[in-house]
Structure formats: C-alpha cells, structure tokens
Amino acid sequence: MPADRHPSARPRPVLVVGSANVDVSVTTPMLPRPGETVVGDSSMISVGGKGANQAVAAARCGAPVDFVARVGDDAFGRMVVESLSAAGVASGEVRPVAGVGTGLAAIYVDHAGQNCIVVVPGANARLAAEELETLAPAVAAAAVVVVQCEVPLPTVYRVAELARRAGTPLVLNPAPAQGLELARLAGPATYLVPNETEAAALAGRPATTRAEAIDCARRLVPTGGSCVIVTLGAAGCVAVDARGDRYFPAPTVEAIDTTGAGDAFVGCFAASLAAGRPRDEAIRRAIVYAALSTTRRGAQASYAGREEYERAWAAADPASA
Ligand code: RIB
C-alpha cells in the first residue's frame, strides 16, 4: 500500500498562506468619531490576523492545517506561534523575522457588535513572493490552498499561480481588497470569497443588497473566481458560478462581536471542502460556523471547537444529524 493510502496517514491538509497579528480589542457603546475620545467598557489582547484566524477555524472544524506566515522576533510573535500550536495548526513555516514587530490590529467593537479595525502589517509585509519558491510541493500536496490580502500582493499572485499549476483548489479571500488586481492572478481562483465591501471595491459598484451582490459576483466570475461567494453578514451569502446563482440564508443569532466572522466562514469552508463535502454543504456549514462565532468576543477566541460546531450544524440542518 502506498504511504499516502495508509489508514494512519495524515489526510491532505488545508494550506493557509497569510497574516498573523496580535489583536488589541476594546468594546465601547459608540465608535469614536475623528477627534473624539470615548470611554470603553472592556479590553482584550488576543491572537488574530486573517490568515491565522482562517487556519485556526479550519483546524477547529477538524482539518489538518499547515500555515505559512511571518511574525516578529518578539513576545507577540511567540504568543502567535504558541497559540497556533495549541489549536493544532502546523506552524513550522511561521518564521520570526529579526528587527520587525509582529503584525498588530487595533479593533473597536460597539454594542451592536459592529467593528472597525486598523491593522499595522509589521512582519506580515515580509512574507515575500520569492520566499515561496520552496512551497510548490506543499501546494501540490494540499487538499485546498487559502490566501487573503494582508500579505504583499505579489505573494498573493504567486500563491494563486502555484495553486493553478498544481491543480489545487484555491480559496482567495480578497480582504482587504485594496489594490488587488484580479487581472494579475494567474487565472480565476477556484473560489473568490469577498464580503459585500470587498465585492463592491472589486466590481466597482454597490453590493449591499442580495441582487447587487449577485450582480457584482457575476461581473467578477470571468477574472476573479470560477465561483464567487459574496458574504453578506447576518443576511447569509450568495454564490455565483457559470451555472447560475444561489442564495444561502444565515441562522438568526444574538451577535455581540463580528470580528473574524468572515475568517470563520473561510476556514470552515476550506475545511469542509478538504473533507470532500460538496460546495453547497460547505457553504451552509461555513455560514453556521461564522454565525456561531459572532455570539462570542474576539476572532479566534470566538471559534467553536469540533464538537460544538457539529452540534450547531446538526441543529441548523437536522437532515445532517
Ligand atoms: O478579520 C479579522 C482580523 O482582521 C483580525 O483578527 C485582525 O487581526 C485583522 O487582521
């Protein structure tokens, strides 16, 4: 029996390339306006970054996960690596860079659960495309590759090219969308997963309503993704591909903090694809997982473990139990 068919062999992993940050989050009754100081009511320092969040979400949903990132040679960098290891994410390619700080995000969350974020890339800006030359075998061995845009854009284009060459499905989360030129991708990603703001930025028109989101997605399919999934927060998401479009509603939950909910969606979606689930089931699972994450504070800190996730999925989709 070949080694990769042995019952105890590690299944093909989700390979995430992306950012790792430390998040300094505060909650406040109202987000401050320019020049204003407001009094907040709680604070939290935790591990975040869209790449790390997606890696941890995929691992909590049961996938083996390999993560490629850069952190500072500092206490925050060590905090990131320890936290990834505790979540079961393989972090051998999360390397410290001397003389630069770990990425840091300042996050403000209001009592309606909405947030705004300022992210300082730090070491994330040092994950250069040239450093990915040795990554081709890992891309080829992965079940799914995931990348977002908090690392240099040439790195994103390179990951897309490696995935295309290897024939490995690519989930591209264009977050933040600023500066991303879809025409510079080696070809459409297998799945392009923007939120409504990112879809609007990429398509150059609003994506607030379901109809607008579908319109944007249709326009993005030829260059951006064979399938474009626009996430709409509490309204669920739409998925558009050459065969047509589909709407997926979200369960109603008491959301207190939406930080990292999009990353929960992407991580769970990738884990579900890696487990061989069909696209539509992977989307429905990802919506349930993301909704659950909004009921707790923080990004990774809000992600459910495998058992809780499967219980929530069974409750949301009784046919699956
Ligand atoms: O998507 C949420 C993430 O965005 C936070 O964890 C923060 O680090 C920023 O990267």
Q: So where are the chain's domains? A: 11-32+41-313
Where in the sequence numbering do the catalytic residues fall?
263
Q: What is the pLDDT along the chain (321 residues), one digit of tens a residue?
A: 344 445 568 899 999 999 999 999 999 999 999 999 999 999 999 999 999 999 999 999 999 999 999 999 999 999 999 999 999 999 999 999 999 999 999 999 999 888 899 999 999 999 999 999 899 999 999 999 999 999 999 999 999 999 999 999 999 999 999 899 999 998 899 999 999 999 999 999 999 999 999 999 999 999 999 999 999 999 999 999 999 999 999 999 999 999 999 999 999 999 999 999 999 999 999 999 999 999 999 999 999 999 999 999 999 876 655
Q: What is the DSSP letter of 243?
A: T
Ligand 1 atom 10: residue of nearest CA: 49
Angle (nearest 5°) at CA 258 between 156 and 60: 65
Tell whether ligand 1 has an atom less than 6 A from the beta carbon of residue 21.
yes
Q: Which of the 8 DSSP states describes residue 56?
A: H
The CB of 93 under 6 Å from ligand 1? The reply is no
Question: Any idea which architecture 11-32+41-313 has in CATH?
Answer: 3-Layer(aba) Sandwich (3.40)
E strand or H helix at 272, and its extent? helix 261-274
Q: Which of 172, 176, 177 is nearest to 161 (CA)?
A: 172
Ligand 1 nearest atom to the CA of residue 52, by list position: 6
Å from CA of 262 to ligand 1 middle = 9
d(CA 64, CA 62): 7
| Atom nearest to 19 CA in ligand 1 | 10
Closest of 84, 2, 4 to residue 267, by C-alpha:
84
pTM for the model stands at 0.95
Distance 49 CA to ligand 1 centre (A): 4
Please tell me the residue having the least CA distance from ligand 1 atom 1: 260
Q: 289 is written with which tokens?
A: 């997982």
What strand order describes the sheet that includes 103-110?
A: 42-48, 21-28, 103-110, 115-120
The CA angle 314-294-18, to the nearest 5 degrees, is 100
User: Which atom of ligand 1 sits closest to the CA of residue 150?
Assistant: 10
Q: Are the C-beta atoms of 245 and 219 separated by less than 8 Å?
A: no
What Cα–Cα distance (Å) separates residue 3 from each residue in 9, 25, 198, 206?
7, 45, 42, 50
